[in-house]
Amino acid sequence: MLRYLLPIAVLVSFGAIPPVAHGAPPFELKPVKVDLPDNNTMFPAGQNSDAINNNCLACHSADMVLNQPAMSKQSWAAEVSKMINNYKAPVAPEDVGPIVEYLAALKGAK
């Protein structure tokens, strides 16, 4: 007899569960407009500015680099090397020296 009561108890318990509300709106994605600052700033003109503008602006804004603390020429060389080796920055090998020279002249430690 217990064998017949178990299926009936299961059916009754499912009947006690409230049905899912059919009037709930489906999940909807809405577009969001984000205005990013227009940053067409180039590095200040000077000797070797073409090298840094042609290689570094692909990943960095000039402001981001220019807001870094002043560093020695060796530190700037290490930073440029880190960008190339760790982050795979596509810097032309012949431009590495001019970039370091530019940064050391503009943002070198005094």
Residue 104 domain flag = yes
Ranking 28-32, 45-49, 82-86 by mean pLDDT, the lowest is 28-32
Task: Look up the pTM and report it.
Answer: 0.65
SS3 of 44-83: the string is CCCCCHHHHHHHHCCCCCHHHHHCCCCECHHHHHHHHHHH
Question: 62: domain CATH number?
Answer: 1.10.760.10
Q: What is the mean pLDDT of residues 46-50?
A: 95
Q: Is it the case that residue 98 has pLDDT exceeding 90?
A: yes
Please, what is the Cα angle at 91 between 66 and 109, to 5 degrees? 35
52 within some domain: yes
Task: Kindly tell me the number of DSSP H helices and DSSP E strands found in the chain.
Answer: 5, 0
pLDDT per position as a tens digit, 55-90: 999 898 999 999 999 999 999 999 999 999 999 999
Q: How confident is the model at residue 2 (pLDDT cuts 50, 70, 90)?
A: low
* DSSP 8-state class, residue 108: B
Is residue 102 situated within a structural domain? yes
Comparing CA positions, the residue from 6, 3, 99 lying closest to residue 51 is 99
Across 81-102, average pLDDT: 96
Q: Which of 62, 66, 65, 54 is nearest to 37 (CA)?
A: 62
Q: How many domains does the chain have?
A: 1
| 96 within some domain | yes
User: Is 67 inside a domain boundary?
Assistant: yes
Q: Tens of pLDDT along 13-26?
A: 666 566 555 666 77
Mean pLDDT of 3-30: 68
Q: What does the DSSP 8-state code read for residue 17?
A: S
Q: Is residue 6 part of a domain?
A: no
Domain that holds residue 66: 46-110
